[in-house]
Amino acid sequence: MQNSKKSKLKKMKNIKSIIILFILGFSIAGCDKFLEEDFRSGITTDNFFNNDGEAQLAVNGLYNLLHSTNTYTTRGLDNFYQNGTDENGPSRNVNGTIFNYYVAEGVADGNGTWSVLYSLARNSSLFLNSIDGNDKISDGVQKQAVGEILFLRSLAYYHLTNIWGDVPYFRELLSVEELSVIGRTDQNLIKSDMKTDLERAYSLLPVSYSGSDLGRPTKWAAAMLKAKFHILDEEWAQTKAACDDVINNSPHVLLDHYADVFDQSDPANQYNDEHIWAVDFTSNAVNGNFQSKRTDDYNPRIRDEPANRNARPGGDGTPSNLELFQALLKEQNEDMTGYGWSVPLPEIARQENWEDGDMRYDATIVTEHLGFQLTHPYFRKNWNLDQEHSLRGNHPENYIVFRLADTYLMAAEAENNLNGPEGAYSYVNAVRARAFEPDKPWSGMSKDQFNIALRNERKYELSAEGHRKMDLIRWGILVETIQTTEQRAWNNPASNIKPHHIHWPIPLAEIELNPNLLDSDPTNNGYR
């Protein structure tokens, strides 16, 4: 799959239409408290969903919510899935509330993310009810629109149940009175419904897109999200079936070189055949919402780099390391203008902790640049120093949500838990084949040995991609892992993490609006 400059321009025109739609009140994404609006008033099937164009415009509007700072644009979802694991942490004393597990009711409790995800769930339900079965919309447009909406609503509840466990759940639009007293629903019921919805989404969505439609979910994205739900519930047969379908029947393939998976240096060619689904970003967006700021967390600050920046290797009166370094950066049209917030923790940053010969290390970790030693290690796979196409606060890099290597590793885990390692080796060895030269395939393991080894394989293959926290949680080893991970001097998560930290507390702002949210669990996930 390839993008193009022409398709990017076309996408920008579509964005303008989306903005108009939101100004008209089609979305309430700016609302901070999801109980404060009566969502059954406003646009209905009778006064808006009258043709294909209006249905497509409605679906396009939903994607705006994925570009919120509380979801994929900055560290919104990364705070729940990436920060506070054994892979990355802050390069200085910042974001400590999240990383050090000081979260409490009303303190970094995710209220902004909660609001955006419920906007997505709520608007998806409105649009689904208005489009599905609407005889004013053509069959082809209706099928794709319904498939996309089902996927996006399932994505919203995937994040909501992962982060908060039992949460308010509705599939029809409720009145403000109903929302003000709604309680929490067992997450298992919600996830069961989402798996069913994703089966239908799979049947409706196309196998691929091109041009300006890149970034929409295909049937393979629906299969991947369904597999994610299944693996969290240790439903191994269903996990493997979904993964095998993607591996055997989709157009996606593993790239020959690991670094190429993350190469987005050309904004006109951001997609590749390993990406199953990504949240699409572009620079110079007309309303400031469609460019990524997440890259800035992984880009260094020039005030930090290089190491020994004030030293003058040529002696007194000669340029300092900083001056020499900046000159070389300028020659390559690069600069270090990021925040430097998210860097590898010491253990993963040291090459000796990786398996001998693992070529993924150099593609993942960078400790020197242009011949200069850096003060901090960084995630090379997530940085972009390009000062022509990727400026601070204005990055076009896509957020890669699902890619094929993850599919292979999930299939391997599922097969091992179903039948032992013999049938699982082929899956994990397909991923390892490009990581080592010569190959280092697995063999001769017991079932337990395979599962333990796979934990490290996922850590190194998928580092800093937003999978680690849920992996540690579903394996039941989050607390012990954090307590034994080497940290830096300004962090102390090992002293603070407790078993209840597998979930966040329901946001205090929501409880104040609706005390019934505590009826099924007065402890609020153990935070009271």
Is residue 75 domain-resident? no
Convert the pLDDT of each residue in 189-217 to its tens digit. Answer: 999 999 999 999 999 999 999 998 999 99
In this prediction, the residues of the chain whose per-residue pLDDT falls under 50 are 1-45
Q: Write the DSSP string, 425-455.
A: HHHHHHHHTTT-SS-----S--HHHHHHHHH
β 372-379/365-369 pair status: antiparallel
Domain count, the chain: 1
Residue 78 lies in a domain: no
Residue type, 321: N
104-114 b/e (C-beta count within 10 Å ≥ 16 → b):
ebeebbbbbbb
Whether residue 339 is contained in a domain is answered as yes
Collect all residues with Cβ–Cβ distance below 8 Å to 484 and sequence separation of at least 6: 494
With a threshold of 0.85, does the pTM exceed it?
Answer: yes
Inside any domain, residue 128: no
3-state secondary structure of 475: coil
- Of the candidates 101, 155, 111, the residue with the CA atom closest to the CA atom of residue 502: 101
- Contact predicate 196/266, CB 8 Å: no
CB burial readout 61-78, b (16+ within 10 A) else e: bbbbbbbbebbbbbbbbb
Burial of 155 (0-12, 13-18, 19+ CB in 10 A): buried
pLDDT at 174: 86
Q: Are 508 and 105 spatial neighbours (Cβ–Cβ below 8 Å)?
A: yes
The Cα 131–Cα 45 span in angstroms is 8
Residue 287 pLDDT: 61
Contact call for residues 223 and 204 (beta carbons, < 8 A) = no
Residue 169 covered by a domain: no
Measured in degrees and rounded to the nearest 5, phi and psi for residue 89 equal -160, 175
Strand partners, 403: 275
d(CA 289, CA 287): 6
Q: pLDDT by residue (tens digit) across 121-131?
A: 999 999 999 99
Closest CA to 217 of 300, 308, 290, 156: 156
The model's pLDDT over 349-380, given as tens digits with 9 standing for 90+, comes to: 999 999 999 999 999 999 999 999 999 999 99
Asked if residue 345 is part of any domain, the answer here is yes
Cα-Cα-Cα-Cα dihedral sign, residues 513, 515, 520, 521: positive
* Any domain includes 317: yes
Structural domain for 380, as ranges: 294-395
Name every residue whose Cβ is closer than 8 Å to that of residue 100 and which is 6 or more positions away in sequence.
84, 491, 492, 493, 496
**3-class DSSP state of 520:** coil
Domain-located, residue 237: no
User: With b meaning 16 or more CB within 10 Å and e meaning fewer, what string describes 240-263?
Assistant: bbbbbbbbeebebebbeebeebbe
- Predicted local confidence at residue 18, as pLDDT: 38
